Structures are given as structure tokens and as C-alpha cells.
Structure 1
Amino acid sequence: MTHDVTVHPLVSPWGRFGLSSFFVDAPEPAIVDTGIASSPAEGMAPALEAIGRRIEDVRWILLTHGHIDHVGGAHALWELTGRRAQVVIHEADAPMLRSRRSHVEEYRAGRGRYLRDAEGEAGVAAAAHAVISGEMEPSLLVRGGETLSLGGDVTVSVHAIPGHTPGSVAYVLDGQRSVFVGDAVQVHGAANGFPGYTDPAGYRGSLRYLRDEIRPRRLYLGHPYRRADGTPYGVELDEAQAREALAQSLAAEHRVAEAACACLDAGLGETDSPYSPFTPVADALGYTGDPALEPSPFFTSLHGYRAQHHQTVQYRSFAP
């Protein structure tokens, strides 16, 4: 059983968001998520030195999912450990660690269909080259259900929690139920003010799984996500805050789902609105944020509902 393993948040600034990684002070130390290319040298190394730890001693790099602000520093961090750390990611998100191009492909397949910005794809490609420190093959692919030993009696269990991305995972420090979820608990969104996920049904199921099965005592978030009133949580939540964040995440998803389904049932229509063809969703939710600000969670999520709705219609068409 794992007891009293200390976790240190490591925060790096980037754009509108703070990037949060976490140092797990185990016999074989781990860092959960890696920020962008500059994060390991400019943020992590000095922060670890300040608490008497060395980045060279990190032996596990645990990636919650494949987005650039979580895997961007992975290669650089791996290099700083003398290439001795094991790099872990879910197999579904592994292409985003192996290839910068996969981030452009994700954009084109999802939100890029709706954004009226001719430079959008070029911007994603430029960002991938600027903030991903290197393409690399992971040391260990996971699916969920694995247990990793961080030395001594410290173990981490891996849980698949798809929704935000297909390969989102939770890492749980066994025995103390400290849970690292990256961006899999969106509440009401971060600075963009809208929750972002590619698979609404998967996201909803993962939130329920976290709430009912894992029941975090400590919940570690990738960004300071916001309550309904707009006030942000920190990135380190206690048990009561974790319950509240999960409940608010489910409530927010329910509101978005109702608006999205009503819009899709009525039929999509092009308008002059920047929210087109999902203008009724923004109106119903009172959403006034900029839908073009990357990573554009508005269109990411709404495209997910559209794909889900299409599958439902197809099923009804072929059902006996």
C-alpha cells in the first residue's frame, strides 16, 4: 500500500493558461505531464532544486493524454534524465507523442471543419513545431488496468478515462487515492469558458467512473478549471472540492448536451455567427467566448455531439 507520498505541483506559464505538471516524490520519482518544450529546463528543474530534488533522478514520465501542452516537454525531460526515465502514455494518444503531424490531423478532423480561419491549420503546425520538444517513441503503452511500481511500496494504477481525448488516463497513487487526471475533468472550462472533449458519451462515463469508483481524496487537474460562477479551482483539490468539481462537470456536460441535441434535431444551418453552424447552442447556453481561440473547445465538443448524433440516427435507420 502507498502512504504519505508527497506531490509537488510544478507550474509553467504559457499563453492564457498555466501549465501544471506534478512531481511525485517516490523512491523512483515521477513527473505527471510535461508542459511544453521549455518547461523542463525553465520551470521544472529550478522548482525541483528548490525542494532539494534533481530532475536527473526522475525515473517515470506519466502522460495523462497527448495534447501539446502535456506532452510538449516529454522529449526534453527525458533527455534531462539521461534518457533513463520511462515515458508512459495510452496507446490511443501515442501518435501525438510520436508525430507532430498528428496534431494537425486532429485539428483538421475536428474543430478545423468549423473555424473560419485560413491560417488555422498553419498555426497548429507552427505551434506543434515550436512547443513539442521532440518526436519520440514511448517506453510503455498502457490501456488501463496496469499497475506501475515507483519503487518500495509505492504503486500507481492506470485507469482509462476517455472523453477529453481517446487516450486520456488517470494515474492513481494506490492507498491514498491521489488522482492525476490531466484535462479529463473540465468543470465549466478553463479560461475559454467552455468544457472541451472529443467524445461526449465517453467523457460523461469517465466522470461517473471517477465519482463512483475511484472517489479521489486528492484530485490533480491540468489547469485551473472554473466553477459555474467563473471562479477557478486550483490544480490541487481536496476530497470535498473533488466531489464538487465532478458534480459540476457532469452538470455542465448535461447542459451542453441538451443544447447540442436540440440544435442537431432541428438541423444545422449556416449563419453569419462565429458559432455557426452551432449558433443555437451558444445562444441557449449564453456563451459569448471567442470560439476561435485555440484549442477552441466550443467546436471540439460540438463536433463530438454531432458525430454521436449521426451514429444514433444511423442506428435508428438500420434498427429492425
Structure 2
Amino acid sequence: MTQHVDIHPLVSPWGRFGLYSFFIDAPEPAIVDTGIASSPAEGMAPALEALGRRIEDVRWILLTHGHIDHLGGAHALWELTGRRAKVVIHEADAAMLRSRRAHVDEYLTGRAQYLHDPDGEAKQTAAGNAVISGEMEPTVLVTGGETLSLGGDVTVSVHSIPGHTPGAVAYVVDGQNDVFVGDAVQVHGAANGFPGYEDPAGYRASLEYLRDEIRPQHLYLGHPYRRGDGTPYGVELDADEAREALQESLDLEARISDVANRYLQDGVQQTDSVYSPFARVADELGYDKDPTLEPSPFFTTLHGYATQFAQNTRNEKGATR
């Protein structure tokens, strides 16, 4: 019989929010996602001590993707394990672990062109310096399809679920189908009230894969994402809640896709609206939150649709030549 392992959420303070990591209590213990630089010492270590566990004994650091609030504490946690833990990340997001500058470049090539903040680059640089505990080379690069042994007969399978970022992955505890997805299941977004993903087609395909192929028994989210009525799901979802959250994410993506693509076909219009050049999209979707608040999921996502639309248009023109 396969050994059952317990999963414990670890909450680390960050302003008025908490950052979530998860402890897999395996023979070779693992932590999924690491918050920011202060999280290992201020959140994880005392939480593990309360469980009768020691942060020094962690042997795996499993990163679901490359954003700063998920890998910012990786170097600090690795140090607290005596540099013995193996750090795992998808190769497509590995640059975010290797270099603080990669986070600034991501900002500049995406949402920065809509935010028009003359201090944006400096702010991103300062944020990276403040909350990323160190640059480092990952121990294990994955692409999806790998199986990691956490000692005994405990294994975790790795599944590529791009969309939120190119290197987003799901880690599945085999035999009990506990699934960690980071920010790959956005529902209606977090505090900003809008789902954030870079690649709409990838996001949709990954949601369908999780719903139809993985079918989580328990789904662990990176943040307490919200339902349509604004109430949070929490970060530990049972099988029924997981199906609901996945379907709700898919339904909202379909709605955003319909509005965005109809708008893009008519041509982008620059206005003095804070939602420009996607003001009509915000209006039709009834989105009235501040789109400039970082990490600006409204602009990240609409930029994704604009990029996808442009690529499809180029492909269609090429096919008619």
C-alpha cells in the first residue's frame, strides 16, 4: 500500500496578505513555493516547529512558477536547509530564479507598455532586490513528465500547465492525487478581481487538462482566489470545489476571450481611460477595479489576448499567400 503523506499549508506574512506555501510531510520533506525573502524565517520555520518538524530537514523545494511571491524565498530556504534541499523549477521559468533582472524584463515586455509609469523599471528593480532572497541555479530543471522521489514509496509527478507563466507546473502527490498548481487556476482572480495569465490558449488548455485528465482529489491554490460573487475559495479545495473552480475559470476565460477578440477585430483604440487601450473590454465585462495595481492582471491578460490575436492574424495572412 502506498504511503499516505499529510499536507500542511504554511502562511507567511506579507503586508495585509499572507503568502502560501505547502509542506509535504514525506520521508524527504518538501515545500511547494517559498513566498518572499522573509517567508522561510518568519512564516515557514515557526509553522513547521508547531508541527514538530524542522525547516533544516526539508529536502525538496518545488516551485510552481517564477513569480517573485512564489520563488522569492527559495534561496533563503535553501540556505536554511544547509544547502541540501533540491530546488526544482520548469526550464521555461528558470531565468526568474537565476536573475532578478529577468523579472524587470518580463515587466517591460508586457504590462509596462500600458501602465506608462516613468518609474516602473526602477520600482520593479527595487521590488526584486527587496523580496527575492538571492539568485541561484536550480538543482533540477523539469519540463513535465518527470517523477520525483520523496523517499520511501512517496513520489510526485510533474505536469506542465503553461498559461499563467510559460513554466507553470502542477505537482501531483501520486496515489492520493493532491495537486499543487500555484497560480495556474485563477477563477476570478485575487484582490485585483481579474484573472492574470500571459498565454490565453495555454491557460485554457491547462485548465482543461487539470479538469479532464488530472481530476484533483485535493487542489492547492497559490492564493485564495475568488468566486464571481467575490467570496474566496481558500487555498485547500476538495474534489467538488476543485471541479467548480476549474469550470468557473474556464467559463470566465471563454467570456474574456469573446469580448477581447471582438474588440481586437475592430481595432485597438487609445483613450484617456485608465483601462486604455482596452476600456471597452473592461466596460463590457463590468471590471471596475484599479488595473494599475501590481501585478496588473488586467493588462497582463489583455496583452496576452492581443499577442495571440496578432499571431493568429499573421498566420492567416501567411496561409493565404
TM-score norm. by structure 1 comes to: 0.99
Identity across aligned pairs (percent)? 76
Q: Give, as a single letter, the amino acid of the residue that structure 1 aligns with 2:5.
A: V
Q: Following superposition of structure 1 onto structure 2, how do residues 1-320 of structure 1 map, counting pairs within 5 Å?
A: 2-15=2-15, 17-320=17-320
What do the CA deviations read for 1:87-135 (whole angstroms, capped 9, x no partner)? 0000000000000000000000100111022112211111100000000
Q: Is the 8 A contact 2:13 2:42 kept in 1?
A: no
C-alpha RMSD of matched pairs (Å): 0.8
Separation (CA, whole Å) in 1 of partners of 2:306 and 2:150: 41
Separation (CA, whole Å) in 2 of partners of 1:47 and 1:82: 19
What's the secondary structure of 2:18's corresponding residue? strand
Instruction: Count residues in correspondence.
Output: 320
Q: Give, as a single letter, the amino acid of the residue that structure 1 aligns with 2:208.
A: R
Q: Is the 8 A contact 1:11 1:20 kept in 2?
A: yes
Separation (CA, whole Å) in 2 of partners of 1:232 and 1:116: 31
**CA gap 1:16/1:197 in 2 versus in 1, 3 angstroms:** farther
Q: Give, as a single letter, the amino acid of the residue that structure 2 aligns with 1:13.
A: P
Separation (CA, whole Å) in 2 of partners of 1:2 and 1:193: 40
What's the secondary structure of 1:152's corresponding residue? coil
Separation (CA, whole Å) in 2 of partners of 1:114 and 1:15: 26
Q: Is the 8 A contact 1:65 1:71 kept in 2?
A: yes
Separation (CA, whole Å) in 1 of partners of 2:182 and 2:66: 10
Per the TM alignment, residue 15 of structure 1 is displaced from its structure 2 partner at its CA by 3.5
Query: Which range moves more in the overlay, 237-246 or 14-23?
Result: 14-23
Structure 1 ranges of 4+ moved more than 2 A:
1-4, 15-18
Q: Give, as a single letter, the amino acid of the residue that structure 1 aligns with 2:207.
A: L
Per the TM alignment, residue 3 of structure 1 is displaced from its structure 2 partner at its CA by 4.0
Q: What residue ranges of structure 2 are gaps of 5+ in the alignment? A: none
What's the secondary structure of 2:184's corresponding residue? coil
Q: Give, as a single letter, the amino acid of the residue that structure 1 aligns with 2:264.
A: L
Separation (CA, whole Å) in 2 of partners of 1:64 and 1:41: 20
Separation (CA, whole Å) in 1 of partners of 2:214 and 2:189: 22
Separation (CA, whole Å) in 2 of partners of 1:229 and 1:272: 29
Q: Is the 8 A contact 1:165 1:198 kept in 2?
A: yes
**CA gap 1:285/1:240 in 2 versus in 1, 3 angstroms:** same
Q: Is the 8 A contact 1:3 1:176 kept in 2?
A: no
Q: What residue ranges of structure 1 are gaps of 5+ in the alignment? A: none
Q: Give, as a single letter, the amino acid of the residue that structure 1 aligns with 2:313.
A: V
